[in-house]
Chain A
């Protein structure tokens, strides 16, 4: 069974701090997606990384796919209160669109 482990599970920081969330697996994924979920809403797709070593930036968010396509990281620079939410990574195991989701990282950014 393929698993994606996210760390940390919970993160509480002050506005302006930097943080990194990790997503690790022993399995290779054809692509990996990051989602953010706010309370009472569904997950919203942030980015998809496909190539080993790929780095994508979305304003203050930087996403990296590991060279071996087994792990990924999300780095947020100068966090803002609006970044608060549940961050989920999800790997595509090349079975026609089925995603394997990590347990999520609950981020709280305090003013």
Chain B
């Protein structure tokens, strides 16, 4: 049963610290997405990659967030420095083309709390 995995599942950190979240997409999926979910804003797209190349990161605060795909099995999302307003659940999803459209499969998320 192929799944997207994310680590860590929970992270509590102090303001100003660096946070790194990791994602292993489903093998064979060529597109990886990073989302942030809060009660107020719902699910927001931060960035996504196709074949490891960044396609769109317009949803990310550029000064503190960065997303990379060092290889096809690993995607990372970094926040430096972290701020309390970054507290949210961060989801990674992977997808593949299917008959002209994409279906996305989500990981379990990383719940980030910045104090």
Q: Footprint of B on A, CB under 8 Å? A: 30-31, 33, 35, 40-45, 48, 50, 88, 90, 92, 96-99, 101-104
Q: Which residues of chain A are near B106, meaning CB under 8 Å?
A: 35, 42-44
In the assembly, what is the distance between CA of A97 and CA of B98, in Å? 10
Identify which of B43, B97, B99, B107 contacts A97 (C-beta below 8 A). Answer: B97
In the assembly, what is the distance between CA of A101 and CA of B38, in Å? 13
Contact (Cβ within 8 A) A97 B95? yes
B18 within 8 A of A: no
Whether A42 touches B108, Cβ cut-off 8 Å, given contacts A88-B43, A98-B45, A103-B42, is yes
Contact (Cβ within 8 A) A50 B99? yes
Contact (Cβ within 8 A) B43 A45? no
11 pairs of residues in contact across A and B, judged by CB atoms under 8 Å: A40-B109, A41-B108, A42-B109, A45-B104, A50-B99, A50-B100, A96-B31, A96-B50, A97-B104, A99-B45, A104-B42
Contact (Cβ within 8 A) A98 B56? yes
Contact (Cβ within 8 A) B93 A50? no
Number of A-B contacts (CB under 8 A): 61
Residues of B77-115 contacting chain A, CB below 8 A: 91, 93, 95, 97-109
Q: Which residues of chain A are near B34, meaning CB under 8 Å?
A: none
In the assembly, what is the distance between CA of A45 and CA of B105, in Å? 7
Q: Which residues of chain B are near A44, meaning CB under 8 Å?
A: 106
Which residue of the partner chain B has the closest CB to A45?
B103
In the assembly, what is the distance between CA of A104 and CA of B41, in Å? 11
Whether A42 touches B100, Cβ cut-off 8 Å, given contacts A96-B55, A97-B48, is no
Chain A nearest Cβ from B5, distance in angstroms:
11
